[in-house]
Chain A
């Protein structure tokens, strides 16, 4: 499958936004600089992937994992990225887990609702019986307040 050159580029709008957020307020970015940074970003992905893949191959694995990417960052001398990457990964993993739990919980709630509707009619009958007994016992007691 042949990829057109544009497909290996990252979307300009997103790149521009990331650049602007990194620079002080009010700073402009020339069109040429924007394009160059976008190309540099694509090259970065390739370089990082190649580097990470070396680590995976060394470990005789065919699948690139998180550890490989972090090792690649260190190799490329981007240690400054490692801590923010680790933190972001934690949040990402929690989010993934949360999404899974939410859909499971929704399923459980649905099952619970069906069950409780069946139980409810039985419970009401029992409660009525209890109430009647209590009323008979309480009558002799009168409130004594000073």
Chain B
């Protein structure tokens, strides 16, 4: 039948993230008026690629490789060491123990006092 048109079945979708949710996030950005369909598709796809990239980079770079688990610390480490992830610094900060932080604060105060003398 020459009139049959070959069509990719819907089951073989190339994206899993919901486009509607991505659109919602995009629209929350100031100054954005409208987004064309192709741009929405690309942003959704790019986000998926990003998730894969962040997960794999963190796993390969981190100590999780030994424990066979991807941990938060792996993400924080990769964010600090990889420039392309620097935009994530505020949301993936390295965690330190409270007592270490307090110690650092004390040291800073001492240095200030010495400088004043």
User: A residues engaging B (CB < 8 A)?
Assistant: 3, 7-8, 10-11, 14-15, 17-19, 21-23, 26-30, 32-33, 36-37, 39-50, 52-53, 57, 62-66, 68-70, 73, 76-78, 80-81, 84-85, 88-89, 91-96, 98-99, 101-102, 105, 109
Q: B51 contacts the other chain (Cβ, under 8 Å)?
A: yes
Question: Which of B3, B18, B34, B64 has a CB less than 8 Å from the CB of A62?
Answer: B34
A102 touches B70 (CB 8 A): no
- Which residue from chain B places its CB closest to the CB of A99 in the assembled complex? B7
Digit string of B24-56 for contact with A (CB within 8 Å is 1, else 0)?
A: 111011011111111101110111111111111
Question: Which of B5, B35, B45, B74 has a CB less than 8 Å from the CB of A105?
Answer: B5
Interface of B is mostly: helix
Whether A48 touches B88, Cβ cut-off 8 Å, given contacts A27-B70, A92-B41, A93-B38, is no
Whether A11 touches B21, Cβ cut-off 8 Å, given contacts A39-B91, A69-B43, A91-B14, is yes
Whether A33 touches B39, Cβ cut-off 8 Å, given contacts A11-B21, A69-B46, is no
Point out the residues of chain A lying under 8 angstroms from B38, CB to CB.
65-66, 89, 92-93
- Which residue from chain A places its CB closest to the CB of B45 in the assembled complex? A88
A81 touches B69 (CB 8 A): no
Point out the residues of chain A lying under 8 angstroms from B16, CB to CB.
14, 17-18
A-B contact pairs, 23 of them (CB 8 A): A10-B21, A14-B18, A18-B48, A22-B51, A22-B52, A22-B55, A23-B56, A29-B69, A32-B72, A33-B58, A40-B75, A40-B91, A44-B46, A45-B25, A46-B26, A52-B39, A57-B31, A64-B36, A70-B42, A77-B83, A81-B46, A89-B42, A101-B5
Tell me the complex Cα distance, A55–B47, Å.
19
